[in-house]
Amino acid sequence: MIPNNVPPVAGKELEYIAQLVNGGTLSDGGGRFSQQCQSWLEERLGCPRAFLTPSCTAALELAALVLEIQPGDEVIVPSYTYISTANAFLLRGASLVYVDVEPETMNIDASKVREAISPKTRAVVPVHYAGIPCDMEAIMEAIGDRKDIYVVEDAAQGLFSSYKDGRALGSIGHIGCISFHATKNVTSGGAGGAIIINDRKFIERTETIRDKGTNRPQFLRGETDHYIWQRAGASHVLSEMQAAYLWAQLEAADQIQAQRLKLWEFYRQNLAGLRTKGIGIPLECTRGQHNAHIFFIKLRDEKERRQFTLAMRDKGISVLAHYGPLHRTPPGLQGRHVLHPQDYASQESTRLVRLPLYYAMTIDEAKYVVDQVQNFFE
């Protein structure tokens, strides 16, 4: 069976975890591996500060706390995304505004963002689906001179991708959120994330709220002899053991990325002919560099997708659907909707499937997948 995903293993994960166990240093937040990972992110993304979190969900929830989202505030999110994008702000009492997506990329439609902005808008949350950049230039232009609207990039799938001007995804908005879940290009051992602070005025607030509302980070750095409770906070700190696992992955990031990009391009070249049969495959990335996080194809309709999924399973290949439109769920029906007349979030989500793509996958396995996909349509 060729699975849809296998978490990457770089080789030094157990060695670094053993160092922690043998050294008895299982602290959270201020340990050597946490600091190394955060410094790596700051350098790689070109951001003022990066903080590890237990998940990207936690990073999004922390962003909502840092921005002090209140009941009555409106937050604009794409309808096609994972539920965490919406939940983080719904938990703060925000009124969600669901925006349609571009059918080609499945990213938020920037023209609809402009239509969705109101006097109550406090945040816009673009999601870089499959590591393909959203139209960040148009989104920032839609906000214009409004100083009370913040952009929180949900770059859960966006690490190693960059915008056309070279900026890393997650480093363009005021805040960025990244995932190190087991399904991502690199992982911190199954779950994990990071919040990226691009607006310096949020650094101190983020550091304090993230660590239970205390000045414990300053204590760990030796800047104070004890720590105290300073404000309402939460526990959004990644364990040092997970940071050790992640550090092994980040050290091998270029190697991991090279293999994923190789596989992604192999799919693109060998499946390009499917377009003549009415099957959608990812277009060339014109807004920057993608990270080969997902290779999806779009069947002609939902019925054909079910037939395709079963046929691939019979051939030992796991292909998976992805999100459904949030605006059609019970919580989503309570929000405001800014959709295209065709409602691309609903229409395209019924057609999309993800092909297997992971670091340990070989070109021979990718060739077998391509052969079976082509056979299905013949």
Task: Give just the sign of the alpha carbon dihedral 56, 144, 166, 258.
Answer: positive
Q: Is residue 7 part of a domain?
A: no
Whether residue 66 is contained in a domain is answered as yes
In a domain, 210, yes or no: yes
Residue 344: inside a domain: yes
Domain count, the chain: 2
pLDDT tens per residue, range 200-254 = 999 999 999 998 888 777 777 777 777 888 888 899 999 999 999 999 999 999 9
338: CB partners within 8 A, 6+ apart: 97, 98, 99, 100, 112, 115, 116
Q: Which DSSP category does 215 fall into?
A: -
Tell whether 44 and 181 lie within a shared domain.
Answer: yes
Q: Which of 219, 251, 283 is the last residue of a domain?
A: 251
Same domain membership, residue 257 and residue 247: no
**Whether residue 231 sits in one domain with residue 259:** no
> Is residue 38 domain-shared with residue 152, that is, in the same domain?
yes
CATH code of 42's domain: 3.40.640.10
Q: Verify that 241 and 260 share a domain, yes or no.
A: no
Give domain status of residue 5, yes or no: no
- In the prediction, which pLDDT does 89 show? 98
Range of the domain at 94: 13-251
User: What tokens appear for 207 in the block?
Assistant: 């550091």
In a domain? residue 70: yes
pLDDT digits (tens, 9 = 90+) for 330-354: 999 999 999 999 999 999 999 999 9
What is the reported pTM? 0.96
8 located within any domain: no
Q: How many other CB atoms are found less than 10 A from the CB of residue 120?
A: 14
Domain boundary among 235, 251, 267: 251
